[in-house]
Structure 1
Amino acid sequence: MHDTSQAYSLWPVVILNSLLIIFFAFTFFKPKSARDWRSFGAFSAFLVALFTEMYGFPLTIYLLLPWLQGRFPGVNWLTHDAGHLLEEMVGWRGNPHFGPFHILSDVFIGGGFWLLSASWPPLYRAQKENGLATSGPYARIRHPQYVAFVVVMFGFLLQWPTLLTLAMFPILVFMYWRLGKTEERDSLAAFGDSYIAYMQTTPGFIPRLFGRAGVGPRGGEPITNRTTKENVHIHR
């Protein structure tokens, strides 16, 4: 049974949710350089687009309404609960917040924010020591913060897919991949052989499921040398 209370045009809710999640991410990412702000700005734009359709104006529902009504009769698509499209399409008729896709969404969103927060301490230590972060999440992947943004966005897509955010997602994934590659070139110029060794033992974006994590000297201590951006935030 769907909640029949007002579902949309809740613009204060759009603003509040957008600001809360963006601020929460900001406290862990702490952008300073122009490159940081571009990556964080793209993530923020994704969230604003998402919450605008979730609580403001359901553009996706309106555009797909003829097809949805024909394919799934008997559903009031203008309620908030029906906006959880994946739950509706698989026939989940209970509370959508306890549906399979919503629960999986919570796992991805929570995991992404955990990864974002866990990445900051080794970055901070490396910044203070003028070194290269290779411990914590950086012992598993070279760009955990970018991966965290992608994981959070994917989680929100499972919870509330929209045409705009579905279109934005692959573009943003490609953007983060390009940013990672650019920062690797900076790191190679700054650290030389040390960063090459780090790259050889540590994947860029997808961690190895088996085998020992790539680490720096003495099991994960920062490699000291000239510093670079995403890994040590010297330009922040």
Structure 2
Amino acid sequence: MTEPGTAYGLWLLVFINSAVFIIFAFSFFKPQTKRDWRSFGAFSAFVVALFTEMYGFPLTIFLLSGWLQSTWPDIDWLAHDSGHLPEMMFGWQSNPHFGPFHILSFALIGGGFWLISVAWHHLWSAQRQGRLATTGPYARIRHPQYVGFVLIILGFLVQWPTILTLAMFPVLVWMYARLARAEEADSRERFGESWDRYASRVPAFIPSYRTKRSDDPQYD
């Protein structure tokens, strides 16, 4: 494990990691409207809070230190690897970066970025043609980009849960749901009955195998 003296206070790493993920997310999401920027800004705040605790100051470890030390006295909670709380609490003996929760987090984060990227391509194509986006991920859910962001955030929580980011998670989900509803109102106003037919068959966030195909002429 990392020596306690060098485990935290690495503010340069906080900056670099935050910048990398924020820029990476920006390249996928490409915010344009005010709603897009609010959504992206909330995600950015979550990322900064996460890496601040990961490399800067372990607020969660500090606040829970008494309980953690008394419950798991053999763990050095000041070591950096101990911040992977799920692996530590479930007794993972090997490197936590190869633990089940860490692998699950990579799958969620990768899946989220993939969903955002693929969805953006179909949305951009539909916008250029002045039509409703109903292909690709939009054939299964109406808001794949927001679902993608939730998957990424959930992946980070599985990997490195903190009090602050756990508190932010439901707020972010609520905000994305509100933004989705606002976008739906705009789409209904613009596309009218085509949107209503699409929305009646395609769920908002959770895909259904019974969803009607996006190439159905009813969507046109």
Question: How does the TM-score come out when normalised to structure 1?
Answer: 0.89
Q: Which runs of 5+ in 2 are unaligned?
A: none
Matches within 5 A, 1:92-103: 92-103=92-103
Q: Counterpart of 2:32 in 1: which secondary structure?
A: coil
Q: Is the 8 A contact 1:97 1:103 kept in 2?
A: yes
User: Is the alpha carbon distance of 1:12 and 1:33 closer, same or farther for their aligned partners in structure 2, counting shifts above 3 Å?
Assistant: same
Identity of aligned residues (%): 59
Q: Could you tell me how far apart the structure 1 residues matched to 2:46 and 2:211 are? A: 35
2:49 partner amino acid: A
Structure 1 counterpart of 2:48: 48
More helix by share: 2
Structure 2 counterpart of 1:80: 80
1:3 partner amino acid: T
Structure 1 counterpart of 2:210: 211
1:50 partner amino acid: L
Pairing 1:4–2:3 present: yes
Q: Is the 8 A contact 1:202 1:214 kept in 2?
A: no
Q: Could you tell me how far apart the structure 2 residues matched to 1:45 and 1:154 are? A: 15
Structure 1 runs (4+) deviating above 4 angstroms are: 216-219
Matches within 5 A, 1:150-229: 150-208=150-208, 210-218=209-217, 223=220
Q: By how many angstroms is 1:211 displaced?
A: 2.5
Q: Counterpart of 1:92 in 2: which secondary structure?
A: coil
Q: Could you tell me how far apart the structure 1 residues matched to 2:213 and 2:147 are? A: 17
**Per-residue CA distance 1:9-63 (angstroms, 9 max, x = gap):** 1111100000100111101111111111000000000000000000001100000
Q: Could you tell me how far apart the structure 1 residues matched to 2:177 and 2:164 are? A: 20
Structure 2 counterpart of 1:232: none
Q: By how many angstroms is 1:212 displaced?
A: 4.3
Q: Counterpart of 1:94 in 2: which secondary structure?
A: coil
Q: Is the 8 A contact 2:139 2:211 kept in 1?
A: no
Question: How does the TM-score come out when normalised to structure 2?
Answer: 0.96
Q: Is the 8 A contact 2:202 2:211 kept in 1?
A: no
Q: Could you tell me how far apart the structure 2 residues matched to 1:216 and 1:21 are? A: 35
- When the two structures are aligned, how many residues end up with a matched partner? 219
Matches within 5 A, 1:99-178: 99-178=99-178
Q: Which runs of 5+ in 1 are unaligned?
A: 224-236
Q: Is the 8 A contact 1:198 1:216 kept in 2?
A: no
Q: Counterpart of 2:94 in 1: which secondary structure?
A: coil
2:167 partner amino acid: A
